Copies of this chain bind each other. A is one copy, B any other.
């Protein structure tokens, strides 16, 4: 059938031209007589793929040249453990900004490793907004401050870099690449690829020289060092290929980065994503039939969340939208309501189709 308007929160829609390129690479990659999944990660052909992925990451995100770029596995969930293990595994403390489910999971795994406390607990505001800098209580002796740029479930997003007296660590899984970002203001950035960068199974990790050195200090201080799979230093030394990486996933990510470049880079993504978000939020603000979940200054460009007057209308909306080719609009089970995810690959025309459907639905059921 024709491609649907796919508002999935992740794994999510990918650019059609990228999917077509991937399709062509499966049986015979670059005329070598074997598919992209069938070649050694140690060979020249795959090396050129991962080199290109790293180079495009560096260029698109203006990553300082002394920062390291890794493509790991295990998603953000692995980073929830790997980050504190490498940064405070031999001592130190970490402060966490709680803005939703994912920061709570990160916090829980940090407490398994060492001294972690909330710098802000979003439960106090029902996760409806992002904290102000004045609300962040960061211990000056903390090794790092961790925050989550975007919250897929509640639909909130940081629209600034938080002010912090200590190194910043950030989970950008659900909005990396949605617009330019100040990499140099951070010491460790991680993102599961399955929203804006590619398929699930690849995690981009960007480390400052401080983060790499802190990982090496931890490894040296622990009697037995760090487990290989969780040792940033080892992966930095081996160009992200200490063991076999997700080769197909990295190629897919490389193609998505090329697609972003082709559209004009992150500034172009910003224009594109702002237009999509403004179109949908304008509709939410137009009628009292819709109740947006997030406070206005904290609204996410990536995941737009709202409710209709009743649970029954929420359910009817999701069902009828699906029948109209507007898929995956049901809110996360822990938040309810409606959620439309507008990641990079979503076209403005899909958002327009959604808004048209909303207005038509309100006329019939409002």
Picked from B2, B112, B229, the residue with its CB within 8 Å of the CB of A81 is: B229
Q: Assuming the A-B contacts A1-B32, A77-B243, A327-B34, are A228 and B8 also in contact, with contact meaning beta carbons closer than 8 angstroms in the complex?
A: no
Asked whether any CB of chain B lies closer than 8 Å to the CB of A291, the reply is no
Residues of chain B within 8 A of A41, CB atoms compared: 11, 200
A73 touches B11 (CB 8 A): no
From residue A171, how far is it (CB to closest CB) to chain B in Å?
A: 13
Answer whether residue A199 sits at the interface, using C-beta atoms and an 8 A cutoff.
yes
Measured between beta carbons, the chain B residues less than 8 angstroms from A12 are: 38
Whether the Cβ atoms of A26 and B27 lie closer than 8 Å is no
Q: Is the CB of A327 within 8 A of B33?
A: yes
Identical copies in the complex? 2
- A244 contacts chain B at the CB level, 8 A cutoff: yes
Residues of B within 8 A of A166 (CB): none
Q: State which residues 1-41 of A face B: CB under 8 Å.
A: 1-4, 6, 8-14, 16, 19-20, 22-23, 26-28, 31-35, 37-41
CB–CB B112/A227 < 8 A: yes
A123 CA to B213 CA in the complex, in Å? Answer: 34
* Contact (A35, B14) CB under 8 Å given A77-B229, A81-B228: yes
Kindly state whether residue A194 has any CB partner on chain B within 8 Å: yes
Q: A40–B3 Cα gap in the complex (Å)?
A: 16
Q: Is A75 an interface residue (CB 8 A)?
A: yes
* Chain A contacts with B in 317-366, Cβ cutoff 8 A: 325, 327-328
Q: Which of A238-264 contact B (CB under 8 A)?
A: 242-249, 252
Find out whether the CB atom of A229 lies under 8 angstroms from the CB atom of B32: no
Residues of the B chain whose Cβ atoms lie less than 8 Å from the Cβ of A165: none
**Bound state CA distance, A85 and B76, in angstroms?**
20
With A and B bound together, what is the CA distance between A8 and B36 in angstroms? 12
Asked if B199 and A80 make an inter-chain contact with CB atoms under 8 angstroms apart, the answer reads no
A147-B30 Cα distance, complex, nearest whole Å: 38
Q: A27-B20, A192-B244 are in contact. Are A6 and B77 (CB under 8 A)?
A: no
* Residue among A1, A76, A227 with max Cβ neighbours from chain B (10 Å): A227
* CB-CB nearest in chain B for A227: B81
| B37 and A78 within 8 A (CB) | no
A–B complex contacts, Cβ < 8 Å, 18 sampled: A4-B34, A6-B39, A11-B244, A11-B247, A19-B26, A19-B37, A23-B23, A40-B328, A73-B74, A81-B228, A108-B228, A111-B224, A112-B227, A192-B244, A194-B244, A199-B248, A201-B249, A246-B246
Instruction: Give A contacts to B, CB under 8 Å.
Output: 1-4, 6, 8-14, 16, 19-20, 22-23, 26-28, 31-35, 37-41, 43, 73-78, 80-81, 85, 105, 108-109, 111-113, 192, 194, 199-202, 224-230, 242-249, 252, 325, 327-328
